[in-house]
Amino acid sequence: GENVEQHPSTLSVQEGDSAVIKCTYSDSASNYFPWYKQELGKRPQLIIDIRSNVGEKKDQRIAVTLNKTAKHFSLHITETQPEDSAVYFCAAKSGNEKLTFGTGTRLTIIP
C-alpha cells in the first residue's frame, strides 16, 4: 500500500518568515495530494491540494509543489502569522480511493 513520509516533525519559524514542509510517497499511481491543517481535537481542514497533472499550485500565502518523478511534494507558507501555528498533515490518494496521511508537522510561529 501507499506509504507517506513527512518532514520535519516539528518546525519553528519567526513570524513573517517562510515555512516549508516536505512529503514523499511510495505509490506511483497516487494522483491527489491534499494538505490539511488540524487544530487540537478538531477535524482536518483542507488548506490546499494538488493533482498529479499539475506541478505547482498557489493560493495567497500557501503553495504546493509536486515532483512526480521523485514522488515528493512540498507545502510552502510565506509571511507566516501566529494563526498559522497548528499541526499540518500531507496525504496521498492512491487508486483505491484511500487517503494515506503523513506523520504530521507541528508548526510554531514565534511572534
Partner 1 sequence: GAVVSQHPSRVICKSGTSVKIECRSLDFQATTMFWYRQFPKQSLMLMATSNEGSKATYEQGVEKDKFLINHASLTLSTLTVTSAHPEDSSFYICSARVWDRGQGGYTFGSGTRLTVV
Our finding on whether 53 is near partner 1 (CB under 8 A) is no
- Under 8 Å CB-to-CB from 41, ≥6 apart: which residues? none
Under the binding rule (CB under 8 A), the answer on residue 34 touching partner 1 is: yes
Q: Please state the closest distance from residue 44 (CB atom) to partner 1, in A.
A: 6
CB atoms within 10 A of CB 2: 18
**Grid cell of 47 as nine digits:** 488548506
Of 20-28, 40-48, 54-62, 63-71, the window that binds partner 1 (rule: CB under 8 A) is 40-48
With beta carbons less than 8 A apart as the criterion, state whether 22 and 104 touch. no
What are the residues binding partner 1 (CB under 8 A)?
32, 34, 41-44, 46, 49, 51, 89, 93, 97-104
